[in-house]
Amino acid sequence: MSRQPIGVFGGTFDPIHFGHLRTGFELWQELRLTELRWMPTGNPGHREPPIADAGLRLAMVRAAVADQPGFVVDDREVRRSGVSYSVDTLTELRSEFPDRSLCLVLGMDAFLGLPGWHRWRELFELAHIVVAHRPGWKAPTTGPLGELMVDRGTGGVRDLHAAPAGRIYVHAVTQLEISSTDLRNIITSGRDPRFLVPDAVREIIIETGCYARARR
């Protein structure tokens, strides 16, 4: 049975920007994913609440990826009541795709914080972990993550296709120096986010004023 991988790219996307989109596109190509699921977080359990409400962030993600084949928006965490945990999301996906490879995409900062996540060791029973990082970044060699890199690390994309879960794959992506925090500050200061976000996302931000009075 085919295990053509499904990618899962979660985040608050507050707002989504070209840094997110370029990372997702490069991984979609590199990993030969059948689809990349963009999954806005509803109520994140391990960070401060987002500024824009869940419905607006979902709308911005839909607008951002609408024209790219292979990109799919998954709204299950937005619809879920209570705190959103990745282990719950992956458990649901695993029940829907019992034999398919699942690849959870994490940035390097999220990966380094993984031991603080809810039931984090169970993630490897449900999916592969794909770490998107800046060129030159060195993976941990000590501590629990260093041990996992020894036990589960792989440099081969084919390993992600050969099994449904359990490996760690680290991949350097083009680094665009854009952050959602900086974007919100740009907007709050009255400057235009043009060329940092897709035009359709910019229109939503301007029309709703969702970041007009928020500074973080």
Tell whether 172 is covered by a domain: yes
Question: What pTM value is reported for the model?
Answer: 0.93
3-state DSSP assignment of residue 76? helix
Lookup: tokens for 181: 């925090």
Tell whether 94 is covered by a domain: yes
- Please provide residue 131's backbone torsions phi and psi, each rounded to the nearest 5 degrees: -100, 115
Lookup: tokens for 104: 């959870």
Res 57: pLDDT? 96
Q: Which helix (H) or strand (E) holds 95?
A: helix 86-96
Tell whether 1 is covered by a domain: no
Tell whether 164 is covered by a domain: yes
Per-residue pLDDT at 1 exceeds 70: no
Q: What are the Cα distances from residue 160, in Å, to 53, 153, 203?
A: 34, 11, 38
Range of the domain at 60: 6-208
CB 67 within 8 A of CB 104: no
Res 138: pLDDT? 80
| Half-sphere exposure at residue 40, Cβ-oriented, CA atoms within 13 angstroms | 26
| Burial of 75 per CB tally in 10 Å (0-12, 13-18, 19+) | middle
Tell whether 169 is covered by a domain: yes
For residue range 14-56, list pLDDT tens digits in order: 999 999 999 999 999 999 999 999 999 988 766 778 999 999 9
* Domain CATH number, residue 183: 3.40.50.620
Domain count, the chain: 1
Tell whether 30 is covered by a domain: yes
SS (H, E, C) 125-193: HHCEEEEEECCCCCCCCCHHHHHHHHHHEECCHHHHHHCCCCCEEEEECCCCCCCHHHHHHHHHCCCCC
Lookup result for tokens 């969702």: 210
Q: Report the chain's mean pLDDT, rounded to a whole number.
A: 92
Q: What share of the chain is helix, strand, coil (3-state, %, to 5)?
A: 40, 20, 40
Res 82: pLDDT? 84
Tell whether 214 is covered by a domain: no
For residue range 44-100, list pLDDT tens digits in order: 766 778 999 999 999 999 999 999 999 999 999 999 988 889 999 999 999 999 999
Tell whether 190 is covered by a domain: yes
